[in-house]
Chains A and B, each alone.
Chain A
């Protein structure tokens, strides 16, 4: 296995609020990672930094062995240009808490348009791929529906299909069920479980659904105050956490912990 993502001593602050403190972490290619922890612990910020939606204040982020937020010009490390960021973004896809489908496009057009505009795929190939992916997320019947005609769970599944259509090597899922009505959560999580089993894409998910994290993840990272408190396979973290802080958090969120 090779390291596909590496955070080296990364710090990030919003004004006075320090969200990430000298964070070191790495992700192996193909790994399925669940990021858990209290709100404001910096989990979402990690995903947003990887998607280039947030900059970093110090440290380095490596993706596929290349600097994400920096580039080398004449052996000197300088802040990344927009061109470099565009190249790096090709590797990464993201699914958002609020779905963020394009409301003026049908479900299928949401999946076709980025392929056509960004990857230069033919319309007919884009359509075929979009249909395949809609079938994968169980929405082949809904291709001509607009987002506002779909339930939240359905919109989120279309958003997952849209991100997959770009063939990213890394997929980021940012609290993808937090905005959903409770009865719609499982249909989305089931799609993610299926992806985790069948695809070798590297996946990072920020979630508050502990049962899902257990099924989905190869490794769970527990965050608090911008730092990793504990990291390990789900069995270890959920059944036998070493750190008192992990224990406290899990006790609060699931109620029963040894």
Chain B
């Protein structure tokens, strides 16, 4: 097993292109996961049992089935129903949809962790429901949500190689294509691992820093 810098030099440009796709899929996928997650959280907390329960079961279904199967469904099954998605589109929707069922729990916990007394104080001052949300609840609920949301971003980043299954040429797939055609696995796969480390280790530290920053911010009030 000999390390060849020539292989590294050869594969690097394609891998950098793959990295751009990986970062795109992660960031846009995360935005989808956050937006959809907030909607799911609000629907889950609805007073209507039908809305709340059906949201619960849909979320359970998505969360308890593998992302890989969902990606196949979006990319290979939907065309049978006349819906054609580009590989990257299907990948972003799949990632976003799958992780929205996790982020929705973060939003729900964040909102439910605001003490009842805050809702009651707002009501006693005659705040309207949206004013209560906007001026009282969310300003308290959002800071503690930031660290777990950042952690899901890192998890999504690490899950992006699954998109290779639906022909997205992201970081891993770029390396894989090279490997398969040149029968060189050592350097490309080492580089894949390295790239993931370079991005996720600092991100993890940032997430931990956020956690410390927002932890017990209003401790004495709770």
Contact = CB atoms under 8 A, between A and B. Distances in A.
Interface of A: 51-53, 86, 89-90, 92-94, 96, 98, 100-104, 113-114, 117-118, 147-148, 162-163, 166
B221 A96 contact: no
Given A118-B126, A166-B126, A53 B120 contact: yes
B124 A103 contact: no
A117 B221 contact: no
24 contacts: A52-B123, A53-B120, A53-B123, A53-B124, A86-B126, A86-B128, A89-B123, A89-B124, A94-B124, A98-B117, A100-B118, A100-B120, A100-B121, A103-B218, A104-B139, A104-B140, A113-B135, A117-B131, A118-B126, A118-B127, A147-B218, A148-B220, A162-B125, A163-B124
Given A104-B218, A148-B220, A118 B117 contact: no
B136 interface: yes
A133 to B, nearest CB: 14
Contact of A148 (B121, B139, B218): B218
Nearest to A118: B126
Contacts of A53: 120, 123-124
A51 B125 CA distance: 10
Contacts of A162: 125
B142 to A, nearest CB: 10
Contacts of B118: 100, 102
A38 B178 CA distance: 79
A92 B220 CA distance: 28
A118 B220 CA distance: 28
Contacts of B140: 102-104
A93 B219 CA distance: 27
Name the 3 nearest CB pairs between A and B, nearest first.
A100-B121, A103-B218, A100-B117
Interface of B: 115, 117-118, 120-121, 123-128, 131, 135-136, 139-140, 218-221
A92 B219 CA distance: 30
A94 B122 CA distance: 11
Nearest to A172: B124
B123 A148 contact: no
Contacts of A118: 125-127, 131
A109 to B, nearest CB: 10
Nearest to B221: A103
B26 to A, nearest CB: 31
A84 to B, nearest CB: 13
Contacts of A113: 135
Contacts of A86: 126, 128
A92 B136 CA distance: 20
Given A103-B221, A113-B135, A148-B218, A96 B123 contact: no
Contacts of A89: 123-124, 126
Contacts of B139: 104
A113 B126 CA distance: 12
A173 to B, nearest CB: 12
Best-buried of A51, A89, A103, A114 by chain B (most CB within 10 Å) = A103
Contacts of B136: 102
Given A51-B120, A100-B117, A102-B121, 17 more contacts: A53-B120, A86-B126, A90-B126, A96-B120, A100-B118, A100-B120, A101-B221, A102-B118, A104-B218, A114-B127, A117-B131, A118-B126, A118-B131, A147-B220, A147-B221, A148-B220, A163-B125
A101 B124 CA distance: 12
A51 B123 contact: yes
Contacts of A117: 127, 131, 135
A230 B117 CA distance: 31
B125 A148 contact: no
A148 B221 CA distance: 6
B25 to A, nearest CB: 35
B128 to A, nearest CB: 8
Nearest to B222: A103
